Amino acid sequence: MIIDHIDNFSFYCGADKRLIAAFKFLREKNPDEMAAGKYEIDGSNIYALVQSYETKPEENGVWEAHRKYIDIQYLASGTERMGYANLAAMTLCREYREEEDCLLLNGEGSFFLLKPKNFVLFMPQDAHMPGLAAAGPQAVKKVVVKVRI
């Protein structure tokens, strides 16, 4: 897992063309002007999901992980609390569903705040619980870029 400001994205791209394209999309697009929905960047290899929602209490959160895609979660507005845990420390709650690229988990992890213009990069070994309220529910706008491994 990596947490940082969008201005520092280039430190993490290396020679990976898909990560470069994903961060280029985040840097060049204005999420305020984008409607909620799916935006293809490179077909099924890289795509973005623009989301607007209200954050929820931790007890309504779900631990998840992915196998085929890296998640880059970029917060455009609001403040969101997120959970992180290494996959090895979790127990399986629901079997992996390939069509959703998602497995659900139980366990405990660490929590952090994501603020506007910050991103978090979750790899397949990173269980995460997104969408949590910080100091009470609030509206957020987030762009999740899915990058095929």
DSSP per position, 9-31: THHHHTT-HHHHHHHHHHHHS-G
Q: What is the pLDDT of residues 76-109, one digit of tens each?
A: 999 999 999 999 999 999 999 999 999 999 999 9
Query: Of 137, 119, 138, 120, which Cα lies nearest the Cα of 128?
Result: 120
- Domain CATH number, residue 100: 2.60.120.370
Cα distance between residue 25 and residue 41, in whole Å: 8
Q: How does the average pLDDT of the chain come out, rounded?
A: 94
Averaged pLDDT for residues 55-77: 97
Residue span of the structural domain in which 70 resides: 2-148
End-to-end CA distance of the chain: 15
Residue scoring higher pLDDT (85 or 32): 85
Confidence of residue 125 (pLDDT cuts 50, 70, 90): very high
Q: How many domains does the chain have?
A: 1
Q: Which pLDDT score, from 0 to 100, does residue 15 have?
A: 65
